[in-house]
Structure 1
Amino acid sequence: MIKKSITVTDQQEQWIQAQMATGNYASDSEVLRDLIRKEQMRNTQIESIRNELIKAEGRGFTDKTPEEIMQDVIKRKQADVEL
């Protein structure tokens, strides 16, 4: 592992301490690593949705609402994860 030194605002420090106070984290580092993991997952999901939209554009028009399309994509991705 690589050790990093960061600077946070007072408000950010209070938030980090509040997260630790929940008992879900034992250290500042755990809080920050969890945030990074969540952001990495979010970016992966966004990229996946983007790719699905690009594929869908090539298939033509649909009567589905944007919300229905997004739910279909999410269901397909969840099914892929469960396999």
Structure 2
Amino acid sequence: MARQSISFTKPNDEWLKSQVDSQEYSSKSELVNDLVRQARKQQAQIDWIRAKLEKAEKSGFTSDGKDEILKQSKALLNGSL
């Protein structure tokens, strides 16, 4: 595992400490790694949505209603399709 040295602003450091103190996480490192995982997952979803929007813009119109489009999108995001 790569070891890093990072600095936090006082409010961010206090928040990190409070999360560890509340036993939500066992260490600041665990918390920061979890936040990075969440950010990576969110970025992957944003990239997926952006790619789908670009593809849709190039493909033209659809006869599917908004409910069906939303259902399909959620299923794809959750890996169900």
Q: Shorter-chain TM-score: what band?
A: 0.7 to 0.9
* 1:22, distance to aligned residue in structure 2 (A): 2.9
Q: Percent of aligned pairs with the same residue?
A: 33
Normalised by the length of structure 1, the TM-score is: 0.78
TM-superposition CA deviations, 1:32-54 (whole Å, max 9, x none): 00010001101100001111111
Letter in structure 2 aligned against 1:34? D
Uncovered stretches (5+) of structure 2, i.e. residues with no partner: none
1:26 equivalenced with 2:26 (yes/no): yes
Change (3 A) 1:6 1:70: farther
Normalised by the length of structure 2, the TM-score is: 0.79
CA distance in 1: counterparts of 2:72 and 2:18, whole angstroms? 36
Structure 1 residue runs of 4+, over 6 Å off? Answer: none
RMSD of aligned Cα (Å): 2.2
